C-alpha cells in the first residue's frame, strides 16, 4: 500500500490509529497486537501471496533469536552464523537467482522468473541486526508479538529506515504513547506532509524528464545528458527523502520517534560526509555489520581500503541484481578510498582548513558531480546505455540547443554558434521544462532547510548527529504554519491522481 494513495490516507491510516489508541489504553499488548496485524495487512495489500514468506521469516528468526539468547560460547556463535546464513540464502534466492543464472549461462530461464518480494532487503537486514544484537547481549526481547511489530511496523517495513530494536520498541512501553496527543499529531502530520510534498510535487514531476533520457539515451548531447541525469539525481533524492520523512511523520502519530535517514546529503563537501548524510541507517548497518567485522581500519591502511571497497561493492549489489549496481558501488568505494588517501596526505603535509570559501565551493561541486556521475550507472538499464549517457555528459556528441530557442535569440544565436553550440530540430519545450525543474529542485535541495531543521524545536527524529541546526523557517504550532501545511496538503492531494511507487520499493 502506498503512503501517497487515498486508500492509505482515508482508509488504512485512520482505522489503524483509532484501533491502536482504543486498545492500547486498555492493554498495551492489545495495542501492539493490533498494530502488528495492521502492518501485516498493509504488507499483504501489495500481494497476499508473500505474507506467508514474511511471517515465516519472522517466526524462524524469532526462534533463532531465542536459541541464541539461551546458548553460550561456541553454541551461540553457531546459532548466529546459521541464522544469518539462512537469511542471506533467502535474500539471495529472491534477489539474485535470476541475476547469477543469467550471468553464468548467458541466457534467461523461464523457470527462474523469481519475483522480488517488496521490502525483503529491509526486513531481512532488520532481523540480521536483531540477531547480532541478541548475540552481543544488547537486546533481550522474548515477546513474540512485540518482535512481530518490530519487524513489520508499517512505517518502515518496505523501505526503511533499518532499525535497531532499542530505537523503537521501548517507546511502545511508554504509557504516554497509549493516548493520542495533540503535539504528536501536529508534528507528525506536518513532517508527513513535507515528505508527501517532496514525493508528489517534486520527485514525481521530475520523473518524466529523467525517464526520457534513460529510456532511450541514443547519442545525447551535453546539456540533454546532464539535464536528464540531474533530473534523476533530484528525483531519487526527493523520492527517498520524502519516503523517510513520511515514515518518521507516520510513526510520530503513534508517539514513536524513528531514526533520521537523510540529512541534506547534496550539501556535502566530500564523499565521506555524503555517506554520513545519505541513507544513514543503511550506511550504519554496512559499517557495523560488514565493514567492522571485516576488520575495519584495525589492520593497516591497505587492509582498511580493501575492506571499504568490499563493503561498497556489496552495498551496490544489495541495491539490485545488476552489474550496473556493482559498478555504482565500486565507484563509490573508489571515491571513498581516494577521499581517505587525500585526507592522509593532507595530514602528513600539515595542511589545515578548507581553502576558504572558493575551496569549499570547489569541494562541494566536485562531490555533487561525482555522485551525479555515479547515478548514471545506478539508473541506466544496462552498461551500454550508461556509457552512451556518460559520453554525452563529457560532450562527445557536442553541445546543442533546440532551434526553437535559437529562433528567439536573434543575433546572439550566431555568437553561440561561434562558441561551438549547434541547434537541434524540435525538443524545445522538453528541454526548457527539464532544466526549469532541475533548477527548482536544486534551489530546494541546496538552499532550503531540511525537515529536521524546520521542525528542530520538536525533536522530529532520533538524530544520530546531535540536535539539528535551527533554521530561519522554523515550524511552530500556530495558525500561519498550520495554514501553510494545510495548503501544501491540498496541493499534494490534488497530485494524488497520479500515484506512483517509491523508487526504493524495487530494492
3-state secondary structure of 405: helix
User: Cell digits for 260?
Assistant: 533520521
Report whether the peptide linkage leading into residue 161 is cis, meaning its omega lies within 30 degrees of zero.
yes
Report residue 81: phi and psi, to 5°: -60, -45
Helices (H) and strands (E) in the chain, counts: 22, 2
Q: Are 195 and 242 in contact (CB under 8 A)?
A: yes
Q: Give the integer Cα–Cα distance in Å for 140 and 357.
A: 50
Query: Which of 243, 334, 339 has the alpha carbon at shortest distance from 2?
Result: 243
Which residue, chain included where needed, has cell 559498478?
A: 327
Q: Give the integer Cα–Cα distance in Å for 504 and 482.
A: 30
Return the percent helix, strand and coil in the chain, to nearest 5. 70, 0, 25
Q: Give the integer Cα–Cα distance in Å for 356 and 370.
A: 21
- Cα 295 versus chain centre, distance: 26
User: Cell digits for 137?
Assistant: 547481549
Query: Which of 246, 189, 242 has the alpha carbon at shortest distance from 489?
Result: 189
Q: Are 400 and 422 in contact (CB under 8 A)?
A: yes
Q: At what angle do helices 51-70 and 120-135 cross, to 10 degrees?
A: 10
- Cα 25 versus chain centre, distance: 34
What separation in angstroms does the CA of 151 have from each of 24, 44, 191, 235, 355?
Answer: 19, 14, 23, 28, 46
257 is catalytic: no
Q: How far apart are the first and last CA of the chain?
A: 16
Q: Are 53 and 117 in contact (CB under 8 A)?
A: yes
Q: Are 265 and 364 in contact (CB under 8 A)?
A: no
Exposed/middle/buried for residue 117 (C-beta within 10 Å: 0-12, 13-18, 19+): buried
Annotated catalytic residue within 156, 319, 332, 456: 319
Query: Which of 332, 307, 329, 330 has the alpha carbon at shortest distance from 318?
Result: 329
| DSSP 8-state class, residue 259 | B
Q: Give the integer Cα–Cα distance in Å for 481 and 490.
A: 14
Backbone φ/ψ region at 56: left (φ over 0), alpha (ψ -120 to 50), beta: alpha
3-state secondary structure of 211: helix
Q: Which residues are catalytic?
A: 319
Amino acid at each position: 500500500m502506498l503512503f501517497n494513495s487515498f486508500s492509505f490516507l482515508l482508509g488504512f491510516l485512520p482505522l489503524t490509529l483509532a484501533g491502536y489508541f482504543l486498545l492500547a489504553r486498555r492493554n498495551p499488548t492489545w495495542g501492539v497486537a493490533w498494530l502488528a496485524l495492521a502492518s501485516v495487512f498493509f504488507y499483504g495489500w501489495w500481494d497476499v501471496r508473500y505474507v506467508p514468506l514474511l511471517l515465516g521469516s519472522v517466526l524462524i528468526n524469532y526462534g533463532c533469536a531465542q536459541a541464541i539468547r539461551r546458548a553460550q560460547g561456541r553454541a551461540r556463535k553457531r546459532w548466529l552464523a546459521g541464522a544469518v546464513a539462512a537469511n542471506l540464502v533467502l535474500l539471495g534466492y529472491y534477489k539474485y537467482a535470476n541475476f547469477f543464472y543469467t550471468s553464468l549461462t548467458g541466457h534467461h530461464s523461464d523457470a527462474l522468473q523469481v519475483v522480488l518480494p517488496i521490502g525483503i532487503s529491509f526486513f531481512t537486514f532488520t532481523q540480521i541486526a536483531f540477531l547480532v544484537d541478541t548475540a552481543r547481549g544488547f537486546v533481550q526481547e522474548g515477546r513474540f508479538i512485540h518482535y512481530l511489530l518490530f519487524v513489520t511496523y508499517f512505517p518502515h517495513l518496505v523501505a526503511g529506515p533499518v532499525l535497531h530494536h532499542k530505537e523503537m520498541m521501548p517507546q511502545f512501553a511508554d504509557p504516554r504513547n497509549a493516548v493520542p496527543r495533540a503535539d504528536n499529531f501536529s508534528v507528525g502530520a506536518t513532517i508527513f506532509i513535507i515528505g508527501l510534498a517532496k514525493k508528489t510535487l517534486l520527485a514525481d514531476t521530475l520523473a518524466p524528464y529523467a525517464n526520457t533520457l534513460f529510456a532511450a539515451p541514443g547519442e545525447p548531447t551535453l546539456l540533454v545528458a546532464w539535464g536528464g541525469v540531474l533530473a534523476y539525481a533530484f528525483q531519487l533524492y526527493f523520492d527517498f527523502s520524502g519516503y523517510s520523512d513520511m515514515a518518521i511523520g507516520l510513526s510520530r502519530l503513534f508517539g514513536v520517534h524513528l531514526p533520521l535517514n537523510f540529512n541534506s546529503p547534496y550539501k556535502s563537501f566530500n564523499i565521506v560526509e555524503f555517506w554520513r548524510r545519505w541513507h544513514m541507517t543503511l550506511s550504519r548497518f554496512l559499517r557495523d555489520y560488514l565493514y567492522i567485522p571485516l576488520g575495519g581500519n584495525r589492520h593497516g591502511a591497505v587492509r582498511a581500503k580493501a575492506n571499504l571497497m568490499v563493503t561498497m561493492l556489496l552495498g551496490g549489489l544489495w541495491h539490485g541484481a545488476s552489474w550496473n549496481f556493482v559498478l555504482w558501488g565500486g565507484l563509490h568505494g573508489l571515491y571513498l578510498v581516494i577521499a581517505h588517501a587525500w585526507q592522509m596526505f593532507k595530514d602528513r603535509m600539515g595542511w589545515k582548513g578548507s581553502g576558504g570559501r572558493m575551496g569549499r565551493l570547489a569541494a562541494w561541486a566536485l562531490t555533487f558531480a561525482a555522485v551525479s556521475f555515479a547515478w548514471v550507472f545506478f539508473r541506466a538499464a544496462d552498461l551500454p546505455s550508461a556509457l552512451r549517457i556518460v559520453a554525452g555528459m563529457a560532450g562527445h556528441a557536442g553541445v546543442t540547443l533546440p532551434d526553437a530557442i535559437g529562433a528567439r535569440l536573434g543575433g546572439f544565436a550566431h555568437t553561440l554558434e561561434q562558441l561551438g553550440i549547434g541547434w537541434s530540430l524540435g525538443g524545445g519545450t522538453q528541454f526548457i521544462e527539464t532544466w526549469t525543474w532541475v533548477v527548482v529542485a536544486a534551489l530546494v535541495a541546496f538552499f532550503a532547510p531540511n525537515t529536521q531543521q524546520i521542525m528542530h524545536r520538536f525533536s522530529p527524529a532520533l538524530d544520530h548527529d546531535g540536535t539539528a541546526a535551527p533554521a530561519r523557517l522554523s515550524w511552530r504550532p500556530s495558525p500561519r504554519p498550520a495554514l501553510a501545511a494545510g495548503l501544501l496538503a491540498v496541493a499534494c492531494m490534488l497530485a494524488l491522481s497520479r500515484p506512483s511507487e517509491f523508487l526504493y520499493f524495487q530494492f
